[in-house]
Amino acid sequence: MTTRRSFLTTTAAALTAPLSQLGCLADRPAASTASAAPVRTRTVTHLVDARPTIEGAGVHLRRSLGSAALPMLDPFLLLDEVHSERPDDFMAGFPTHPHRGFETVTYVLQGAAHHRDSMGNHGVLSAGSAQWMTAGRGLVHSEMPENTAGGMWLFQFWVNLPRANKWVAPRYQDIAPERIVETHREDARVRLVAGTLDGRTGPVQGIATAPQMMDLSLDARGRTSVAVAPDHTAFVYVIEGRVKVGADEAPMRAGQLGVLSRGGRVVAKTDGERGRFLLVSARPLGEPVARGGPFVMNTDDEIRQAWDDYRSGRLVQP
């Protein structure tokens, strides 16, 4: 069983080696000198099944990114899905714990969770909301679910911060459901959390890796194409149903993550059933990565310092 602690303590060298094979870090094409180069449609280069694990104080979830099959996808470090109608699977939650050096993103489809942190922020993440929290130089927080009808369904992923931003003051963006941009793109219904689409901009702002994050729904026999930054790392995660993704129409089902090749466009379609998926992209960092429990830095010395700062009470600064 892979836990957050065990996968985060893996050395950066062991993690980054396979990424060049996936086109995540090393295989970046040179910028084209052509004035009107054709837009390349991305393909699915690697498919990962989300696998069950237990985290926090006993939360049952499925992990796709941050697993043995895909330890890292620069700048993305983790993708977990919590989806259960059984309170025993999620009510233990994620009690108080520290972070430094990266960002946590929570996207709630169903249920609710209480957030509280050392910056004095507290509130409820309700169905349809998102939270983008920049841990920066350090904070302590908790996420505790409510026992609501229908259970809990949420996603959380971790995004690395560049070296220059790991020591910024913590920042918290709480995005209520009505603030998320809802639009249509061809046959798709889209909820845009971050980035731009057709001239509209999502509510999450000021993120160093310039992410694009959207939730797309297609009815049966639907199709859509979305523009993405050609040199950004991107992936698709299928939430519901089945979707064919990319120029080669790779079939994907719920609970699968597809790593995408480079290119300026992502195409998706459905056949006999509807499909819903996350499309997420961001600028890769290409920097050394050191990990230790809830901390992500550039060197092992910085990880040791983070633990020392936490134990001595210096992690959280006024």
Q: Is residue 157 part of a domain?
A: yes
Q: How confident is the model at residue 29 (pLDDT cuts 50, 70, 90)?
A: very low
Q: Each residue of 37-76: b (16+ CB within 10 Å) or e?
A: eeeebbbbbbbbebeebebbeebbbbbbbbbebbbbbbbb
- Cα(315)–Cα(318) distance, rounded to whole angstroms? 10
**Residue 32 resides in a domain:** no
- The DSSP symbol for 42 reads P
Which residues, including other chains, have CB under 8 Å from residue 36's CB and lie 6 or more apart? Answer: none
pLDDT per position as a tens digit, 87-135: 999 999 999 999 999 999 999 999 999 999 898 888 899 999 999 999 9
Query: Tell me, what's the pLDDT at 36?
Result: 67
Q: What is the pLDDT of residue 37?
A: 75
Domain with residue 261: its CATH number is 2.60.120.10
Q: How many percent of the chain have pLDDT more than 90?
A: 84
Q: Say how many C-beta atoms besides its own lie within 10 A of residue 83's C-beta.
A: 21
Please report where in the chains the tokens 């731009």 appear, as a residue: 196
Q: Determine how many CB atoms are found less than 10 A away from the CB of residue 239.
A: 20
CB 160 within 8 A of CB 285: yes
Is the residue at 275 inside a domain?
Answer: yes
Give the pLDDT band (50/70/90) at residue 204: very high
Residue 134's alpha-carbon distances to 95, 112, 139, 198, in angstroms, are: 18, 21, 9, 27
More confidently predicted of 288 and 6: 288
Q: For residue 75, is the peptide bond before it cis, meaning its omega torsion is within 30 degrees of 0?
A: yes
Distance of CA 158 to the CA centre of its chain: 5
Its pTM stands at: 0.88
Local confidence band at 318 (pLDDT 50, 70, 90 cut-offs): confident
The reported pLDDT for the residue numbered 24 is 42
3-class state of residue 177 by DSSP:
helix
Handedness of CA 103, 79, 186, 265 (dihedral sign): positive
Q: What is the dihedral of CA 182, 122, 77, 137, to 10 degrees?
A: 130
Contacts of 238 (CB under 8 A, 6+ apart): 252, 253, 254, 255, 256, 258, 275, 276, 277
Range 183-189 contact pairs with CB under 8 angstroms and sequence separation of 24 or more: 185/216, 185/224, 185/225, 185/226, 186/222, 186/223, 186/224, 186/225, 187/218, 187/219, 187/222, 187/223, 187/224, 188/216, 188/217, 188/218, 188/222, 188/224, 188/268, 189/216, 189/217
Q: For residue 16, what are the domain limits?
A: 4-27+37-312
Q: How many residues does the chain have?
A: 318
Residue 47 lies in a domain: yes
Distance CA 155, CA 157 (A): 7
Please name the helix (run of DSSP H) or strand (run of DSSP E) that holds residue 131, with its range, or none. Answer: strand 130-134
Separation CA 253–CA 238 (nearest Å): 6
| In-domain check, residue 238 | yes
**What does the pLDDT look like over 160-173, one tens digit per residue?**
999 999 999 999 99
Tally Cβ neighbours within 10 Å of residue 278. Answer: 21
* Confidence at residue 63, expressed as pLDDT on a 0 to 100 scale: 98
Query: 16 falls in which pLDDT band (50, 70, 90)?
Result: very low
Q: Is residue 318 part of a domain?
A: no
Is residue 219 in a domain?
yes
Structural domain total, the chain:
1
Residue 142: inside a domain? yes
